[in-house]
Amino acid sequence: MPFPELLLIQKVKALKDRTHWKYKLEGFERGISKKRREFKIDKDEKDIRNLLKLKIDDKKLNQLLKKTKFLEYFEDKTKWLK
């Protein structure tokens, strides 16, 4: 895994998208069953928890989060997953 910081951001973004669409009846995951969507959300949460256990370069992570303007959401979502 070359960039765990980037993978962590991608996983949090996927979780954000899936939990958002969980409450909507539209979006790119429209055809996926509720059970499958719940499975994917649970897997995202598990993957994020496991990635947070790795040695993450906080400086690199913060730089990426600032560039993507994802810092606030990332901090909010990962706070309750730790």
pLDDT in tens, 12-47: 999 988 887 665 555 555 566 777 888 999 999 999
- Say if pTM beats, i.e. exceeds, 0.85: no
Tokens standing for 69? 């303007």
- Residue 77 carries which side chain, given as an amino acid letter? K
In angstroms, the CA 53 to CA 49 distance is: 7
* The pLDDT of residue 31: 60
The torsion angle over the Cα atoms of residues 57, 72, 27 and 1, rounded to 10 degrees, is 0
